[in-house]
């Protein structure tokens, strides 16, 4: 294990063992960048050696935690203020090395954790460097950009490429899939109901006041930004075949949906729902009901979090320096800094739209925001019988709901021909109709990892795949398959399912998957598409 946790510092061990570990750069020192950095270092499988982040405070914070430690200063190759500068540095480093000039050791791979709308630009710019990449979800915010990334990656020698679909990698979900698909504990799956309860105040933070509140500016719908890994999870559970058995049986092709439909809308967070008592207030700090409103920003960020000495998420998103201020200057100073951030507001009549949309407004009234993404949505997948594989018809319903007590603690039921499975974020219960028995499984839930251990699981599998290729000489396709279990094509397929569902929702129709894939993906890839069959 690593010698520190989130709130501690790394004093950069330099023994022979660490010198042999694969080295990685973090691009974007926000919440996700820190999560992956911690996961890599805690695993002991790799090193974080470079941070790329435009905000100096965030760059220094991640660097002191995971790279140069609390007692040292960064060297030039350890920190960059922009990914463009990092790429220029890497290009020059390669030229110097080719000319025989001594150069600092480079990185084997990068974690791309910039804002969603920047993923396409950053991934495509990094591709010529030949680095392994893990890109935080979503891959991109439009289908066109997803396909553009796929085309770009195909132009260069294959490298490990992972996407932040962390739900595949938690101990809970790995066991659930093994039971349902590997052990077939309920026979053939007939129907699945899966719910992602976002959480009433969590949704208001991220999808009403935060970065992901609008589809404009290439940010995408909430089904993409919040739930694309749930859609991927549904397809992983019901489409992607389990690995071949120990007898070397031939792997079956995926069982793809026949059609997709969706219904959803913005129900709660709109002006028509604003309490009359709030009057004309647009900011919580000046609102007459700030002491009683459940969405009051001071109550959510201060009373629920900072007042309890918790300056991490979501407080650190509102004010990245709050934790440092709390530690060095005390709770009153931290509260003052937080409230200064919450007081920031705009006038819809006079503030330029670009200025409003370019940043979050965490003190803004949730009923006076400019948000437009769904806070309640259903997606239905239907499968026909597949005579070639003998797999029967089935249905899956996914529900994303903002207004819930549970916060991202997913739950559901899977119905099969010989039993049913109930699951939540902690427990899996299997009931067999064959012998009327019930078995309860309690998978490990790591304490320091988000998504039930999925963050750590994905980071570790990515690092292992990189190490297998670079140090052990594995072919990329083999390491990609055995450690990550997913290809770029399958990543694009699950994203395409999101865009297909959104088209179905907007136009109020049932979409034929095969026809839609041909028109929107395969033709766009100029014949290089695979009819959604890549696994």
Q: What is the rounded average pLDDT of the residues 29-37?
A: 95
For the entire predicted model, the pTM comes to 0.92
pLDDT tens by residue, 62-111 = 999 999 998 889 999 999 999 999 999 999 999 999 999 999 999 999 99
Q: What is the rounded average pLDDT of the residues 498-517?
A: 98
* Res. 316: pLDDT tops 60: yes
* Res. 5: pLDDT tops 60: no
Count of CB atoms within 10 A of residue 523's CB? 11
* Res. 381: pLDDT tops 80: yes
Are 456 and 42 a contacting pair, CB within 8 Å?
A: yes
pLDDT of residue 1: 27
Q: What is the rounded average pLDDT of the residues 186-214?
A: 97
Where on the phi/psi map is residue 325: left (φ > 0), alpha (ψ -120 to 50), or beta?
Answer: alpha
CATH number of the structural domain 16-167: 3.40.50.720
What's the CA gap between 40 and 462, in Å, rounded?
9
Q: Read off the pLDDT band of 375 (50, 70, 90).
A: very high
pLDDT of residue 245: 54
* Res. 203: pLDDT tops 80: yes
pLDDT of residue 3: 27
CA distances from 520 to 94, 493, 505 (A): 38, 11, 17
pLDDT of residue 13: 42
Quote the mean pLDDT of the chain.
Answer: 92
| Helix runs in 168-238, H state only | 171-177, 200-203, 222-225, 228-238
What's the CA gap between 50 and 62, in Å, rounded?
10
pLDDT tens by residue, 238-254 = 987 765 555 444 567 88
What's the CA gap between 158 and 145, in Å, rounded?
19
Where do the domains of the chain lie? Answer: 16-167, 168-268+373-522, 271-357
* Res. 458: pLDDT tops 50: yes
pLDDT of residue 532: 43
* Res. 148: pLDDT tops 80: yes
What's the CA gap between 324 and 342, in Å, rounded?
18
Phi first, then psi: what are they for 439, rounded to 5°?
Answer: -120, 140
Where on the phi/psi map is residue 532: left (φ > 0), alpha (ψ -120 to 50), or beta?
Answer: left
Q: What is the rounded average pLDDT of the residues 321-338?
A: 96
Structure tokens belonging to residue 512? 């034929």
Q: Which residue has the tokens 């999560």?
A: 35
* Res. 310: pLDDT tops 60: yes
pLDDT above 70 as % of the chain: 92
Q: Identify which of 98, 12, 133, 34 has the alpha carbon closest to the alpha carbon of residue 455.
A: 34
Q: Which one has a higher pLDDT value, 240 or 391?
A: 391
Domain at 168-268+373-522, CATH from 3.30.360.10, 3.40.1500.10, 3.40.50.300, 3.30.465.10: 3.30.360.10
* Res. 9: pLDDT tops 60: no
pLDDT of residue 263: 98
pLDDT tens by residue, 393-416 = 999 999 999 999 999 999 999 999
* Res. 12: pLDDT tops 90: no
Structure tokens belonging to residue 197? 């309860």
Q: What is the rounded average pLDDT of the residues 224-233?
A: 97
Count of CB atoms within 10 A of residue 33's CB? 25
Count of CB atoms within 10 A of residue 163's CB? 28
pLDDT tens by residue, 108-134 = 999 999 999 999 999 999 999 999 999
pLDDT of residue 248: 46
Domains 16-167 and 168-268+373-522 agree in fold: no
Structure tokens belonging to residue 302? 């201060």
């Amino acid at each position: 294990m690593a010698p520190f946790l989130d709130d501690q510092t790394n004093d950069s061990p330099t023994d022979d063992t660490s010198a042999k570990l694969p080295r990685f750069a973090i691009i974007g020192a926000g919440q996700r960048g820190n999560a992956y950095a911690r996961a890599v270092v805690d695993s002991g499988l790799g090193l974080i050696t470079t941070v790329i982040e435009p905000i100096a405070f965030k760059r220094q914070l991640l660097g002191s935690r995971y790279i140069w430690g609390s007692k040292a200063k960064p060297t030039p190759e350890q920190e960059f203020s922009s990914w463009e500068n990092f790429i220029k540095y890497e290009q020059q480093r390669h030229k110097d090395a080719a000319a025989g000039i001594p150069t600092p050791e480079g990185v084997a791979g990068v974690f791309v954790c910039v804002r969603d709308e920047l993923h396409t630009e950053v991934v495509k710019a990094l591709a010529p460097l030949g680095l392994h990449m893990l890109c935080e979800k979503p891959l991109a915010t439009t289908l066109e950009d997803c396909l553009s990334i796929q085309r770009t990656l195909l132009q260069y020698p294959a490298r490990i490429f992972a996407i932040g679909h962390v739900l595949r990698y938690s101990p809970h979900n790995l066991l659930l899939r093994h039971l349902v698909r590997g052990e077939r504990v309920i026979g053939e799956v007939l129907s699945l109901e899966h719910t992602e309860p976002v959480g009433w105040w969590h949704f208001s933070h991220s999808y009403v006041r935060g970065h992901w509140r609008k589809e404009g500016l290439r940010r995408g719908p909430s089904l993409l930004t919040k739930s694309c890994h749930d859609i991927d999870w549904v397809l992983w559970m019901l489409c992607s075949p389990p690995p071949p058995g120990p007898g070397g049986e031939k792997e079956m092709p995926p069982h793809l949906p026949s059609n997709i439909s969706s219904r959803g809308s913005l129900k709660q967070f709109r002006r028509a729902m604003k309490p009359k008592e709030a009057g004309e207030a647009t900011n919580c700090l000046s609102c007459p009901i700030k002491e009683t409103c459940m969405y009051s920003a001071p109550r959510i960020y201060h009373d629920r979090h900072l007042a309890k000495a918790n300056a991490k998420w979501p407080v650190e998103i509102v004010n990245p320096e709050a934790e440092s201020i709390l530690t060095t200057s005390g709770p009153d100073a931290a509260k003052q800094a937080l409230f200064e951030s919450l007081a920031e507001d705009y006038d819809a009549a006079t503030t330029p739209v670009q200025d409003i949309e370019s940043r979050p407004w965490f003190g803004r009234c949730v009923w006076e925001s400019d948000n437009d993404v769904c806070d309640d949505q259903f997606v239905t997948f239907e499968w026909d019988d597949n005579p070639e594989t003998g797999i029967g018809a089935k249905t899956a319903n996914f529900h994303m709901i903002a207004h819930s007590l549970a916060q991202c603690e997913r739950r559901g039921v899977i119905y099969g021909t010989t039993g049913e499975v109930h699951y939540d974020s902690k427990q899996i219960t299997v009931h067999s109709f064959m012998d009327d028995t019930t078995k309860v499984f309690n998978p490990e839930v790591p304490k320091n990892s988000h998504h039930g251990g999925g963050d750590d699981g994905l980071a570790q599998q990515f690092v292992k795949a990189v190490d297998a290729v670079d140090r052990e000489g594995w072919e990329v396709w083999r390491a990609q398959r055995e450690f990550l279990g997913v290809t770029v094509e399958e990543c694009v397929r699950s994203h395409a399912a999101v865009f297909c569902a959104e088209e179905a929702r907007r136009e109020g129709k049932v979409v034929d998957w095969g026809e839609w894939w041909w028109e929107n993906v395969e033709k766009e890839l100029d014949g290089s598409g695979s009819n959604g069959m890549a696994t």
